[in-house]
Amino acid sequence: MYDLGIIGAGPAGYAAAIRASQKGLSVILFEKNFVGGTCLNRGCIPTKTILHCCKLYTELKNSAKFGIEAANINFNFEKIQERQRNISEKIRKSLTNLIKSYNITIVEEEAEIEAKNLIKTKSSNYEVKNIIIAIGSKPNKIKFNGNYNDSFILTSDDILNMNKLPTSILIAGSGAIGVEWARILSSLGVKVCIIEMMDKLIPTADNEVSERVARIFKKNRIEFYTSTTIESIEEKKVILSNGKIIEPDNILQAVGRLPEKVTGRLSKEIEVAKYIKINNNYQTNISNIYAIGDINGKSMLAHSAMKQAEDLIDYITTNRIKEFDKDKVPAVIYGTPEIAYIGKTEQELTGKGIKYKKSFFPIAALGKAYAEDKIEGFIKILANDNEILGAHIISEEASAMIEQIAIAMENKISPKEIENVIFAHPTYSEGIHESILALDNLAIHIPNNK
Its pTM stands at: 0.95
Q: 308: domain CATH number?
A: 3.50.50.60
Together in a domain, 11 and 131: yes
The reported pLDDT for the residue numbered 294 is 97
Instruction: Report which of 441, 355, 343 is spatially closest to residue 393, judged by C-alpha positions.
Output: 343
Q: Which residues, 6 or more positions from 19, have their beta carbon under 8 angstroms from its beta carbon?
A: 309, 310, 313, 314
Together in a domain, 319 and 362: no
The answer to the question of residue 116 being in a domain is yes
| DSSP-based helix, strand, coil % in the chain, nearest 5 | 35, 25, 40
Residue 427 has pLDDT above 80, yes or no: yes
Q: What is the pLDDT of residues 373-407, one digit of tens each?
A: 999 999 999 999 999 999 999 999 999 999 999 99
> What integer is the mean pLDDT of 190-218?
98
Together in a domain, 395 and 416: yes
Measured CA to CA, the distance from residue 389 to residue 405 in angstroms comes to 10
Instruction: Report which of 148, 193, 200, 152 is spatially closest to residue 172, judged by C-alpha positions.
Output: 193
Together in a domain, 419 and 315: no
Residue 162 has pLDDT above 80, yes or no: yes
Among 277, 300, 324, identify where a domain stops: 324
The answer to the question of residue 450 being in a domain is no
- Residue ranges of alpha helices (H) inside 131-175 are 156-159
Residue 449 has pLDDT above 80, yes or no: no
The answer to the question of residue 342 being in a domain is yes
Q: What is the pLDDT of residues 24-38, one digit of tens each?
A: 999 999 999 999 999
Residue 10 has pLDDT above 90, yes or no: yes
The answer to the question of residue 449 being in a domain is no
Residue 107 has pLDDT above 70, yes or no: yes
Together in a domain, 278 and 360: no
Distance of CA 400 to the CA centre of its chain: 14
The reported pLDDT for the residue numbered 298 is 96
> What integer is the mean pLDDT of 85-99?
98
Residue 90 has pLDDT above 70, yes or no: yes
Report the percent of the chain where pLDDT is more than 70: 100
Confidence of residue 450 (pLDDT cuts 50, 70, 90): low
Q: 424: domain CATH number?
A: 3.30.390.30
Together in a domain, 175 and 210: yes
Question: What is the pLDDT of the chain when averaged over all its residues?
Answer: 97
Confidence of residue 281 (pLDDT cuts 50, 70, 90): very high
Instruction: Report which of 339, 316, 313 is spatially closest to residue 14, judged by C-alpha positions.
Output: 313
Answer yes or no: are the C-beta atoms of 156 and 178 closer than 8 Å: no
Residue 133 has pLDDT above 70, yes or no: yes
445 is catalytic: no
Together in a domain, 307 and 192: no
The answer to the question of residue 444 being in a domain is no
> What integer is the mean pLDDT of 154-178?
96
Among 324, 349, 367, identify where a domain stops: 324
Together in a domain, 271 and 395: no
Together in a domain, 119 and 209: no
The answer to the question of residue 81 being in a domain is yes
Together in a domain, 286 and 222: no
What distance, in Å, lies between the first and last C-alpha atoms of the chain?
Answer: 72
> What integer is the mean pLDDT of 323-348?
97
Among 255, 280, 301, identify where a domain stops: 255
* Residue 228 to residues 101, 198, 208, 385, Cα–Cα distance (Å): 50, 7, 20, 41
The answer to the question of residue 245 being in a domain is yes
Q: Write the DSSP assignment of 391-424 as a string of letters.
A: EEEEETTHHHHHHHHHHHHHTT--HHHHHTSPPP
Query: Which residue range(s) make up the domain with 99?
Result: 2-139+258-324
Together in a domain, 217 and 180: yes
Together in a domain, 75 and 197: no
Count of structural domains, the chain: 3
Measured CA to CA, the distance from residue 153 to residue 420 in angstroms comes to 53
The answer to the question of residue 443 being in a domain is no
Q: What is the pLDDT of residues 285-320, one digit of tens each?
A: 999 999 999 999 999 999 999 999 999 999 999 999
303, 425, 433, 445: the catalytic one is 425
